[in-house]
A and B are shown apart, each in its own frame.
Chain A
């Protein structure tokens, strides 16, 4: 305890306070806990305590069949279930040498990009709420609700989609759904400007985020920060563009990066604005995919008793929280031998202790929100 007591010049004794943030706290995005040591308002250290949502999804993977595991992957990240589906399906397809039908790929892209918009809306909305602005959160959720309706039309579920199958997608996207998606995009794209007016150019919001918790490029590499958080540090890296998968090479889209426009490169504001830009890009991709949607079957013929040959693969997907890696090992049987899900939130949590030192308590909340960590994805 001796080092925790500070004596000021005038002889007053102050002591570090240990503060417990979470696990049930509105701004911990799920069930997360931080043990924070503070000196007044300034944080000395913030030790994350995770695991409250551990559901041993990786172990379950060893007990169920290849097809049967897809619904479980939904739960790995319930805000972006499509990507978790896609990662596993791609790994299984790569192991089994299965080619996804072209229509299936486009259906995947449409569903994934809609899911990305929904996930980023949550990220941006809760971010604003944590900072103290409640209205943008409601606006974001209102639009997300429309996406949930679209998802219901596409696959019958609003949260845990279980839409992708090994070899394609479970249900074809009907022309009516396509029209509805187009109508939604027509309505939604102008609304992204509304977010700009509400938040991006809002002086209070900018002041709260600019220059706070800066992650440098080198730190991002060291701690393996991925996805929008990495791009916010000025690294132009997007798996969709740089390690292409699915039909992304045929689609045109920009990779937005942070520029430090309001403060320092890699600060909380950059992490926010990158997501807003990505929402716009996702709208663009969805429109293109809808236009290019080819005719044909939505799913390839895959044997019901799927037994990929022995081997192992590591597949990366660009999920809303960054590089989602699936390391899947097959021993040639009906069940996967090992499924490992590497998620962006997990590694992002690792940097919080380092970044939080010297921050104000209120800025810690901004930092957690800006990294867009998602408790189920951390704990799996």
Chain B
């Protein structure tokens, strides 16, 4: 199905919850209201004509200029061979969105990664822990304003300048 048609269906089904469709780009995307993400995803998965049974990817995108964090969902359907990109805008300070783990199990790990690296909290997630970084790491590295902590567990994270090293 064409992305335009998918959007039209979503608009009919969830008036006011989806917007900002961009069909001219190579991967058509649309904005979904954060509060409706689970319903929209469940509809996309369960509707036999849409049949998005695979969640390819969940990731984040930090846009400090607009003071927002985007969570980006890439959906794919093997049977219908179509894809759609969903985006949810969240405020940077309080980035909360419901988990779609109940719709696709793959979201468990993918959302944990977004939580770890972007600090987006997925409400209702069954196991929201850091996944790639140590549990006591400070900050979320993929945010644009991230500043690395100077040391971790007594180990410096900074590299001494080469000249100083040679003088020592």
Contacts and interface: CB of A to CB of B under 8 A. Distances in A.
13 contacts: A219-B105, A222-B104, A223-B105, A311-B26, A325-B56, A325-B74, A327-B74, A338-B62, A338-B142, A340-B57, A342-B74, A346-B113, A350-B109
B168 interface: no
A44 B133 CA distance: 26
B44 interface: no
A212 to B, nearest CB: 21
Nearest to A222: B105
Interface string A42-68: 000000001100101011001000000
B105 A51 contact: no
A354 B55 CA distance: 18
Given A51-B134, A323-B56, A314 B141 contact: no
A171 B131 CA distance: 39
Interface in A217-242: 219, 221-224, 235, 237, 242
A378 to B, nearest CB: 9
B25 A311 contact: yes
A-side binding surface: helix, strand, loop or mixed? mixed
B109 to A, nearest CB: 4
A346 B61 contact: no
B142 A59 contact: yes
Most buried by A among B83, B85, B110, B132: B132
A312 to B, nearest CB: 7
Contacts of A224: 54-56, 104, 106
A316 B74 CA distance: 11
A312 B27 contact: yes
Interface string B64-93: 000000001010001001010100000000
Determine the interface band of chain B, counting residues with CB < 8 A from chain A. Answer: 20 to 34
Given A224-B106, A327-B72, A346-B113, 12 more contacts: A50-B131, A51-B133, A51-B134, A59-B142, A221-B53, A223-B105, A224-B55, A237-B78, A243-B81, A312-B25, A349-B109, A351-B105
Contacts of A325: 56-57, 74
Given A224-B55, A327-B57, A342-B56, A347 B78 contact: no
Given A59-B142, A224-B106, A242 B132 contact: no
Contacts of A351: 105
Given A51-B133, A312-B25, A235 B78 contact: yes
